[in-house]
Amino acid sequence: MELHKESSHPGAFLSNASRNLSSSSSAFVSASQSPFFSPRSPPPLLIPPQITILPSQITISPSDASPCHASSSDTSLAHRRNKKTKKKNSPISLRTRSAMTVSSSTNRPRSYDVYLAYHGKKVSLLRFVNWLRVELEAQGISCFACDRARCRSSRSQSHVEKIMNFTTFGVVIITKKSFGSPYTIEELRHFFSRRNLVPIYFDLGPSDCLARDIVERRGDMWEKHGGELWVLYGGLEREWREAVEALSRAFDLQLEAGCGNWRDCILEAVSVLAKKLGRRSVVDRINRWRERIEKEEFPYPRNENFVGRKKEISELELILFGDVSGDAEREYIELKTRHRRNVAGNSTNKCESPSENGGKGKEPVVWRESEKEIEMQRSVRRKAASRNARRKRPKAKILYGKGIACVAGESGIGKTELVLEYAYRFAQRYKLVLWVGGQSRYIRQNFLNLRNLLEIDLGCDTYSHEKGNFKCFEEQEEEAIARVRKELASDIPYLVIIDDLESETDWWDRRVITDLIPQLGGETHFIITTRLPRVLGLEPMKLSYLSGIEAMAVMRGETVAKDYPLVETDALRAIEEKLGRLTLGLGIIGAILSELPITPSRLLDTINRMPLRDLPWTDKEEMLTFKRHSTLIQLLDVCLSIFDHADGPRSLATRMVHVSGWFAMSAVPVHLLALAAYKFPKKKHGSKVFKKLSSLFRRSRIKRSESEAASVLVRFGVARISTRPNCIQFHELVKIYARRRGSHRVAQAVVQSICVRASVSHSLDHLWAACFLVFGSGSEHAMVELNSTELTHFVRQVALPLAIHTFITYSRCNAALELLRLCTEALESAGEALVNSRGDKWRLKRRLRYCFRVDCSRSDEGFRLIWQEIALLKATVLETRAKLMLRAGRYDTGDDLIRKAIFIRSSICGDRHPDTVSAHETLSRLTRLLTNVQIS
């Protein structure tokens, strides 16, 4: 389902003119196109004016031509301003030049809660203002945003001044250039005189806004932007000083918006205005949201020992925002390419690189810049021999300012660490950082999991089946995805990180992941980390290895202040070379040197003496990865040996590593991991008395052992701590290593632990992982075989609740129905196997009864109970499938399923049993609806 997004092209205004102001699309144009922003929802009991955006001059109906409430000095200032505007107009593109036609049934214009004033065309300023406006409107505070310097008509200025007079509070964004704008000075004096001024300082502070410093050009800031600014626009010095001094008198409001506190400043501004408006519920809602986001926003804590990657982080900022700010402005970013670069199509502004004429056979780097994007395209030389190859392969390009970035590199090189550091550094530029695991089996579920942070309801709606108003499963899934996409496509800026994207297509139905991502170019930014050479037809940013100095810093870790002798330094360089500067391996080396009193030379000798384990490989890519980094296998073996040496053979930490490979990629609860480790099969030794004593001792220390083992794994770099309480996560290479060292019995221990401890609300991905192990996935066969009792317990405790929760909560209809179908087939196979095995046992029992007079009635009763339990559980699964079919209007399929369930329950429980009666009611409803459909 394609989302409707309002076009920003001027030609689209004619078709959108009649839209109501309460829609999510503004009646005015966006910040990058117009000086106006309109509210999302008008306040009640007020008649909003009908405003139409047209690419023509402004005309106001006579009903709106009432005079403004302004002083004589304001009138004279406006007269001088209009006179000066006629002589000199600042250049502005046709795309940003807009107009409006205002007509109203009353002389009084609409009243707004907040008038948001700003001045300038800087991209960061427009982004901040737009975000503040949308946040106010989302909280039910009507807002009118305007840059009056871009209003080209005196009549439009008159109408805006009327709105200023009827606005409850005036928010003025103060920038370096605001003091040279007559409109900002007038707005400051106007709202200060009414005692409703709320200033917000953008990229400067209240201490910087002193009239004497500005006039005398004191400081680095005012050396360029200061002076007698009232002369700049022909104003009066007294009026200008009154406006500047008004800022210094607003002591109770010191809102400052810098590069690192946009989110906090906007939320604080909304809270302040909500308090002044008497809307306490808004303040409470924002406080609750802050407390929740503080715990759930990031999947991992920030790496305090992050090393290097300055160039990569600056380049990510350039790709996403189209420019850099702050410290990155002082850093030089070198973008290299092996091919010539040119630009297809026309451009409004072109900028050539300094190396335009340098080098033989090279073309200048040409940039295409527009209002929404800055794009650099690459193309190879036009050779006749390579024309056919280019036609088959799409051109790779890097988009700057489009809001999407791809980071590619081999596993373990540090892609996740890079984007995590970027997210922490620039989190204040977004309302929320959203993390999505990119594994093909879980990516759709992980994308829909964003509903929790975005506070979106994705549940299936109740449709009127009697009238035939229902949606098929595909439509319900499309609607759920569209709700998340719609929120991400709004004017609120989010940062979505898709980590470790395995494939461009979904595992379930082979759909392209672009169906999940909204249209690019909006306020939301996307970062994709992957091992793929190309994603979405874009050339990703290739992540290279750390430099030698950075690699040494990672290996030194906390011992960076310690000076190693030359021999030990050479040993570190040898380890670095053997690991191939793989960031994961370097981090484990640094952790070992920090935790143990061991020298680098001794550690190198230990790694060399560790025999290289020959692991069985089924995946070619995994085999090639570990073949290139065989030392990593030896290093992991060293870590497990250290754990066993400290806590005895088969320590809990070692067993946790072994079972980690069969869980999903998301963070694993420590208690769930420890339970699977305790179920891990061990060598049999000792007497029964010793086993009982050791079991009691283990139970008394289980809680302390779990936390200690998890702490050891985190401290040695084998696992990383998660922001989720009592959870840790393992790197993909560690999980592959664990799977290749383990066996199917280890996978069975994981399934048993999930069946006992996991819950749908906290371990959704791990429940799916267990289902894949039990029922198989696609072309892969089931790896865990459960007996009849274990299977019924697994279906009842894991599979059935998981399918219902997936269908009802996330509208993943096809995945839920496929899981229920697999459950039905597994129960049928278990019942048939049980019946077949009973035939052989019956012959054996008959011989025992005849020869040895053995009574087998008790075993027959147990067999009958197990068979009945399987059959009744199968009936429950069939009934659940029938009820889900009812929601999509597939009445014929549901009718067949419910009849099978009724037959089973009637045969075992009877017709008067409550479950049988309930199934008959479902059948009656399906029959009635099926008849109505056939008649119509």
Instruction: List the CATH number of the domain containing 898.
Output: 1.25.40.10
Residue 354 burial (CB count, 10 A): 8
| 267, 295, 323 - which closes a domain | 295
Residue 702 lies in a domain: no
261 and 274 fall within a common domain = yes
Q: Average pLDDT, whole number, for the chain? A: 75
521 and 666 fall within a common domain = no
pLDDT band at 550 (very low <50, low <70, confident <90, very high): confident
Query: How many angstroms separate the CA atoms of 373 and 322, rounded?
Result: 7
**Is the predicted pLDDT of residue 60 greater than 60, yes or no?**
no
Tens digit of pLDDT for each residue in 614-651? 776 666 676 777 777 788 888 998 998 888 887 766 78
Choice between 90 and 423, residue whose per-residue pLDDT is larger: 423
| 785, 801, 823 - which closes a domain | 785
Residue 246 lies in a domain: yes
159 and 282 fall within a common domain = yes
**Is the predicted pLDDT of residue 392 greater than 60, yes or no?**
no
Query: How many angstroms separate the CA atoms of 646 and 847, rounded?
Result: 56
Listing DSSP states for 392-460 in one string gives: HSPPPEEEESSSEEEEE--TTSSHHHHHHHHHHHSGGGSSEEEEEE--TTTHHHHHHTTHHHHT---SP
210 contact partners, CB below 8 Å, separation of at least 6: 244, 248
798 and 778 fall within a common domain = no
The residue written with tokens 């267990």 in the block is 770
Residue 931 lies in a domain: yes
Mean pLDDT for 584-608 is 89
CB-based contacts of 793-796 (< 8 A; 24+ apart in sequence): 793/755, 794/751, 794/755, 794/770, 795/823, 795/826, 795/827, 795/873, 795/877, 796/873
220 by Cβ neighbours in 10 Å (0-12 / 13-18 / 19+) ranks as exposed
Which CATH number goes with the domain that contains 276? 3.40.50.10140
54 contact partners, CB below 8 Å, separation of at least 6: 13, 14, 17, 98, 99, 100, 101
Residue 663 lies in a domain: yes
Tens digit of pLDDT for each residue in 644-677? 887 766 788 888 999 998 999 999 999 999 999 8
**Is the predicted pLDDT of residue 420 greater than 90, yes or no?**
yes
Tokens at 437, concatenated: 């695991």
675 and 774 fall within a common domain = yes
Which CATH number goes with the domain that contains 528? 3.40.50
Count of H-run helices and E-run strands, the chain: 35, 20
Closest to 643 measured CA to CA, from 587, 602, 588:
588
498 and 617 fall within a common domain = no
753 and 875 fall within a common domain = no
Tokens at 100, concatenated: 């409006």
556 and 459 fall within a common domain = no
Choice between 278 and 466, residue whose per-residue pLDDT is larger: 278
Write down the pLDDT at residue 359. Answer: 40
Could you list the residue range(s) of the whole structural domain that residue 415 is in? Answer: 404-542
What does pTM read for this prediction? 0.77
578 and 662 fall within a common domain = no
**Is the predicted pLDDT of residue 498 greater than 90, yes or no?**
yes
Write down the pLDDT at residue 12. Answer: 35
**Is the predicted pLDDT of residue 122 greater than 70, yes or no?**
yes
Type of residue found at 23: S
Phi-psi region of 120 (alpha: psi -120 to 50; beta: other; left: phi over 0): left
892 and 757 fall within a common domain = no
488 and 551 fall within a common domain = no
Burial 818-856 (b: 16+ CB within 10 A, else e): ebbebbbebbeebbeeeeeebeeeeeebeeeeeeeeeee
Least confident of 1-5, 176-180, 816-820: 1-5
| 295, 314, 340 - which closes a domain | 295
781 and 798 fall within a common domain = no
Q: 3-state SS of the chain: helix, strand, coil percent to 5?
A: 55, 10, 35
Write down the pLDDT at residue 324. Answer: 64
Total domain count, the chain: 5
Residue 807 lies in a domain: yes
Least confident of 34-48, 240-254, 267-281, 607-621: 34-48
Residue 95 lies in a domain: no
Residue 81 lies in a domain: no
**Pairing between β-strand 541-542 and β-strand 525-530 as defined by DSSP bridges:** unpaired
Give how far Cα 410 sits from Cα of 265, 500, 632, Å: 39, 10, 14
Q: What percent of the chain has pLDDT over 70?
A: 72
pLDDT band at 848 (very low <50, low <70, confident <90, very high): very low
Which CATH number goes with the domain that contains 639? 1.10.10
